[in-house]
Amino acid sequence: EGLDAEVADTRLDHLVIQPFDRAFSRLRPTEFVRDVLVQGLGCTTVVVGHDHRFGAGREGNEDLLRECGETYGFDVTHIPPHIEDELTVSSTKVRQRVQAGEVEGAESLLGRPFAWQGQVVRGDGRGRQLGFPTANLTALEADQILPEAGVYAVEVDWADNPSDHPQAGMAHLGARPTFEAADAPAKIEVHLLDAGRPDLYRRTLSLSFATRLRGVEKFDSPDDLVTQLHRDAQAAKAVLQQRNGNDGR
């Protein structure tokens, strides 16, 4: 469900996901071109980035690909590096910014907000007891990256969202030191700011990260935590309203 939506957003007609197993990793560059690009996909044009390498040992480069194109009858198109604020954009730099909690910096490189998807699972109900009910999430894929632990302003969307736009929310990533031991497993939970209490159990939520509001903190009492959560909610609303042109979203 989530992947289908992401593919639709790219306007791609087809998406092929190739498992990167040991056998595939050992393909020589010419074998990759012959078996995958030509026989497997029937490519007529291959588009590559400025630093593209392929095949075992990263031995294949653009020059070799062009030679193969002459043999098998496909064209090669080169895309130059994309520069943003004098920085060459790459997936590595995006990951570094996300993992450091710099989601606004990641957005400037991506050209869109960093988004993360997870399925809603049962929680312990503590957020509801505090007056801030949350949807507890587990990652759809084990290798999904997450921003640094903390509290974030986010926009939340799901398949049957009754609104015509994502809902404003705030997400907490990491441990909950006010109630749990410091080495307790990290959690991912999101509170919807103005959407009431829809039944989201087992639904897949997409979180678009706007900004990091603060780090994870341990409070002296639940009342102190609730006071801070109200501040967080106001801060998140202000950030999201500004991003959306003060239209009340």
pLDDT at residue 248 in the model: 47
pLDDT at residue 125 in the model: 85
Which residue blocks in the chain are alpha helix, DSSP H? Answer: 2-10, 22-25, 29-32, 62-72, 91-99, 103-110, 126-129, 222-243
pLDDT at residue 33 in the model: 97
Q: Residue 143's pLDDT band (boundaries 50, 70, 90)?
A: confident
The DSSP annotation for 58-85 comes to: G-B-HHHHHHHHHHHT-EEEEEPPPEET
Whether 3 shows a pLDDT value over 90: the answer reads no
Stated pTM of the model = 0.75
Whether 156 shows a pLDDT value over 80: the answer reads yes
Whether 194 shows a pLDDT value over 90: the answer reads no
pLDDT at residue 121 in the model: 94
Whether 2 shows a pLDDT value over 50: the answer reads no
pLDDT at residue 196 in the model: 72
pLDDT tens sequence across 34-84: 999 999 999 999 999 888 999 999 999 999 999 999 999 999 999 888 776
pLDDT at residue 217 in the model: 94
Picking from 9-23, 79-93, 180-194, which range would have the lowest pLDDT averaged per residue? Answer: 79-93
pLDDT at residue 1 in the model: 45
Whether 236 shows a pLDDT value over 90: the answer reads yes
pLDDT at residue 13 in the model: 83
> Mean pLDDT for the chain?
89
Q: Could you give the C-alpha distances from 219 to 23, 47, 91, 228, 229, in angstroms and in order?
A: 52, 53, 36, 9, 11
Whether 246 shows a pLDDT value over 80: the answer reads no
pLDDT at residue 4 in the model: 59
Whether 98 contacts 106, CB under 8 Å: yes
